[in-house]
Structure 1
């Protein structure tokens, strides 16, 4: 992805935290004739491989997993908060509208996980990860026969990350007064996405929270 230097993020811990928080990914492969995308929850294992490893599963009826046989690289896109930016929030003139957003792209070669126990473990790990914030998490206990019947309808896979790119486009290239104006407007917005962008600006940009 195109990343101007002002927006590039290479901090591994920051990228890991982002992927773990925004783990519902757009997963893209190529069947040799055209791109193909699925939308999947992905777990990130930061200690598996030089850049970590992604693990997920999809319906067996989804033809995308068959693309893995080519050995080609796949792209997983993790989307964060985003917001329209009005030039009326800038001090600098003239100016034009833009869009601020955060995204992380992870590339790697996916392979199918075929071992039964590994698939069971992955599904349990996925349930635990997404139930963890609930007051009464669902334990995920299912009869083995019922669970195994459902498992025959999915394909689990893993992607050791070969390279990863982070783009935090939050106005870091603008004069301080412009960045502050954007933060003030977004932080007072009723839109949850806009407020989330403002919160990211607190750590990525030099803005005054109290303005």
Structure 2
């Protein structure tokens, strides 16, 4: 992605934290010569991300262990009004946090490994329902309708575009405006901006 240096984040702990908090991500590959995307929940572990897609989805048929895929994790984001800036004329923009994970895929076929992956994906979000209590024949039938896979991460790109190109006064005015927003994503962007300025 386009990644000016002042927006670049290389701290792996920060990148993995965003990936885990926003684990519903977009898998991008090339299918029959054109871009193809699927929106999926991911299990994020150090060095590897895992998920599954419908067997009827043709994207998995192009998985090549020698070809990188892209998974986009989109974090908090906010519209930035030019009215918040000190100097005019100015134009609106968008502040956001995102991580691009690149890696090579491997289809997971061993039934016990598939079941374990599904279980870990469920418990990541579900505290009351236990997948393992499903009737075995029903669970097996459901598993036959999916393709589980893992992606060994080859590189991570982090971009936190948070008004770093503006003056300190402008950044503080943006923080002030976002902090009183009713939108939790706006407030989260403000919190990260404060952290960038060493105020948190």
TM-score category, normalised to shorter length: over 0.9
Residue 54 of structure 2 is aligned to residue 59 of structure 1: yes
Separation in 2 of the partners of 1:69 and 1:192?
A: 39
Aligned residue pair count: 199
* Cα 1:157/1:70, change in 2 over 3 Å: closer
Residue 186 of structure 2 is aligned to residue 188 of structure 1: no
Partner of 1:103: 98
Q: How far did 1:172 drift?
A: 1.6
Q: Any conservation in 2 of the 1:170–1:205 contact (CA below 8 Å)? A: no
Separation in 1 of the partners of 2:129 and 2:184?
A: 28
Listed as ranges, the matches of 1:47-196 within 5 Å are 52-69=47-64, 71-132=66-127, 137-140=128-131, 141-196=133-188
Q: Any conservation in 1 of the 2:105–2:151 contact (CA below 8 Å)? A: yes
Which sections of structure 2, spanning at least 5 residues, go unmatched?
A: none
Name the TM-score, length of structure 2 as normaliser.
0.94
Name the TM-score, length of structure 1 as normaliser.
0.90
Partner of 2:37: 37
Separation in 2 of the partners of 1:13 and 1:129?
A: 19
Q: Any conservation in 1 of the 2:103–2:152 contact (CA below 8 Å)? A: yes
Structure 1 moving runs of 4+ over 3 Å: none
Query: Deviations along 1:105-159, whole A, 9 cap, x unmatched?
Result: 0011111101111001001111111114xxxx21222121111111000000000
Q: Any conservation in 2 of the 1:102–1:168 contact (CA below 8 Å)? A: yes
Q: How far did 1:76 drift?
A: 0.1
Partner of 1:49: none
